[in-house]
Structure 1
Amino acid sequence: MMRSIALPTDLPWNDQTAYVLLDGATFRQLPERLKQLSPGVSTVALYDCPPFTELQDISPLLAVIEHPDAPVFQFYLEHAHEEWGVLLFSSAPAHGVAQHLRKLLTVELPEGLPVILRLADSAVAGALFGSSDPRLFGPVSCVVTPDSVSANWHRHQPRVSGCPELPTPYRLSPEQNSALDHADRRRVLLQLDAHLLRYFPERQRGGTVAQRWPTLEQLFEEAKALRLSSQSELFYYANVMAWLDGSPLDQHPHIDRLLHTPSLQSPGERVALAADLAHQWAIQRGRP
């Protein structure tokens, strides 16, 4: 749990305003939850502007944190390991910080295509603000992101003083784009870990995410080699391997053939059937 990991020292709690940016698409009914925790909490919905107006119910929320013991901040710390929130510091008022962050909701890929960023995702924020471009910070002086894999916090600050103008639309560099691709892959692996912990808790060797990470990466690469691309296909493949529980595939010719022999069925259909066969084998062996 991130609550047990100390935040970086010397954060500017007394000199600047603290904010948390929370992902409303991940935590349902987030505005109502924050109001229950602190009826007077001040929040700004980043999607309260075109072209996102109709998506305000899943908007990232920027909430003002008056002190570290504030209920909303304690709520953030409780969920920090889920990585759907970011801690920010700024001398600017909430609407000024929100106006800057809105410029980063939609950016351009290196080739010019527009994409929407999930700014409240800590890995996305880390990839973005961890780059060397000070224009990304605007009025924000410090960005703190949780890392549940390393069980640590990362602190990002601009390397130059001042507030350089951010061009809009902002175009990602190839390095930033690569870092964001890595963040997407990382999110998939964390979702895979959560899936396996939920359905196969007794078979997950290693007490921490970091200890389980090599296995998660191996499952991801094996599924990719089988041309399994969607999250559901990855999960089906992970189910196959979990139910087989180390039993070699060559001892299960029907499952092996479904996974490795092309047919009129799609890879997704074949891996779903393979998962059913693996489940039946596990039940017969007394491993439901």
Structure 2
Amino acid sequence: MGSNPHVPAPSEIPSELPTPTTPLGREALAAILARPDRAVVALDFDGTLADIVPDPEQARAHPGAVDALVALAPKVASIAVITGRPAGVAVRHGGFAGVPGLDHLVVLGHYGAERWDAVSGTVHAPAPHPGVAAVRAELPGVLDRFDSWHGTWIEEKGRALAVHTRRAADPQAAFEALRGPLGELAARHGLIVEPGRLVLELRPPGMDKGVALAQYVRELDAESVLYAGDDLGDLAAYAAVEKLRTEGPDGTPGLLVCSGSAEVPELAERADLLLNGPGAVVGFLSALAQHL
């Protein structure tokens, strides 16, 4: 990591910006304000840049999100959208392609297994894991064995599959009933289950948002990092930021932002800054851009 320059005292954070509740969070925001060109801003998509909706295919970036990213991108080292979705889907639903001013944007899809760069407009990805095809064939039969499957549905994600329970009569009961059997199915074919907000994703192991974020921060030799998320899958990115804070002589200042959700208290408890959903995240990014 690059050596950390002198940064302004946390008390010098502009009053127009929400103030992190933790000392480490205030230190990180101060570092971002002092040297934005050495900062990585990393963001989840669903629940952070886009509102959660019953049908993920209908999810779109929150109004104002692209404008906020356009204002922020030229002032920071990079903006990275890190998502469990395929990179191309996140680009399409986010409206990120061909937008002037977003040259510093990358989308790390499938938890970092895929990468889309705004500069080239192309997606780079490895070959699919063979276990995904096997699980795809068996999954409907596994769901049929449980009464709780009614109202659940399978989302095809190309390199992964997700079972959503939000539409079930008792979404949480369906989630708990299916978690074990889907875990066994995934394990038989070399996959893992990633739990989320009333969704169970069956995907290949070896990559998560934490691995993707840490690799990207090191790639850019960033001096500070902001990560915003809302779901259980974001805990790995939180852990990566917490580890980066301790590495090297001075560590890498990191700001953990939670896009508020009562469904995932684990994230809120570890966050430096709580924001009330995608609208508030977009407002924060816009305000941050104005002060850089």
With the shorter chain as reference, the TM-score category is under 0.3
The structure with the largest alpha-carbon Rg is 1
Q: Which has the higher strand share?
A: 2
Q: Which has the higher helix share?
A: 1
Q: TM-score, normalised by structure 2?
A: 0.24
Which protein, 1 or 2, shows the higher relative CO under an 8 Å CA cutoff with sep ≥ 6?
2
Q: TM-score, normalised by structure 1?
A: 0.25
